[in-house]
Amino acid sequence: MITAAQRHAALIDSLIQSGELVDDRLIAAFRATPRHLFIPEVGALTVHGTVLDARTSPEAWLAAVYSDDAIITQVDDGDPTRRRHLPTSSSSAPTIMARMLEAADLGDGQRVLEIGTGTGWNAALLAARLGDTNVTSVEVDPAVLAGARSALAAAGRSPATHLRDGALGYPPGAPYDRTIATCSVTRVPRAWIEQTRVGGLVVTPWTAMEGAGVLAPLTVAEDGSASGHFRGGLGFMLLRSQRMPDVPPHGLDAEPDETRVVDEDVISPLTEFATAFPITFMVPSWRMGLRSMGTGMGLWLSATDGPSWARVYPYGDEWAVEQGGPRSLWDEVERATAEWGALGAPDHDRFGLTVAPDERHRLWLDTPDGPGWDFVLPDR
């Protein structure tokens, strides 16, 4: 059996070889902080839903813990009556954690606020890099926080941890040199920017809708704005206060106002990150998802500002498009796709985000003064 120490060393070596881990001090922090100390021995799941149990299957448990995958540590906010089986807390994939911490450009003596303690592994890595007294972490879920505190203590780490809504930050410790979120947001909370010093970084996953997300390291300016280029695609659970309402989308079974047939696959581009990401913010106030239909796997689109909707599904060798409501939602998607193409089909890392002091979010291409789109924040 390969030991935990051997698996841990191999994982860190692979992160270095892939180029995800570069900073020597950060590498040392990863080597000093084994992941298995922060994964529950019972009750965790792989991303494929396999139940992990260190008591009955220790080798399978260790193999999963030291894979480069997320480990789900809570579903349905820990409420067994909900039965939706939706992941609500996890240990992120090591590659993603390394990428985020490298993007934070950590320096000796810096003070960091972490949003979302989760398992405690990221807080422990920060503490190993910067010192326990320089790390403050907040967590909204009391059960999750209790588990993290126990794991941190067992690992010999003692960053400050607080039960608190992450959207509010933690004012008593401000200003911070870095604010690092382990959850995704569509609206960067004002508190994060206000509690980060001028010239400091807010490092957060950002998404226009659940699914297609990017890493956003935003530099805080003297005027209270924060701005930066996106780096790399990733997916995180949304900050709990920014979750979409648990309501069905519009038009799943409604009669359409308009139907047409197209001869090219219009579903695939909206299910692939490279082509879907820019459309998610170029079209305002909407969401989408896959749905099995009679002719195969289709796509539904639903406005978040009213009862507009669209359905797209295979129709023989073609694709049927149906839409209804006051907005012609599919037409908006087509116009946005054409606009993206006219710009040269730029990759996601050519885009960036500026959050103004009045909380306006503006997406831009190449530079903050370049072509841009005011992001209409989703209704909740």
Give the residue numbers marked as catalytic. Answer: 92
Q: How big is the chain, counted in residues?
A: 380
Per DSSP, 56 falls in state T
**Sign, Cα dihedral of 190, 191, 192, 198:** positive
39 and 66 in contact (C-beta within 8 Å)?
no
Q: Are 51 and 70 in contact (CB under 8 A)?
A: no
The residues, ordered by sequence, that sit 6+ positions from 67 with a Cβ below 8 Å of its Cβ are none
Q: For residue 357, which phi and psi values (nearest 5 degrees)?
A: -55, -25
Q: DSSP string covering 262-317, please?
A: ESS--SGGGTSHHHHHHHHHHS-SEEEEEEEETTEEEEEEEESSSS-EEEEEEETT
Cβ contact 135:159 at 8 Å: yes
Pairing mode, strands 258-262 and 286-293: unpaired
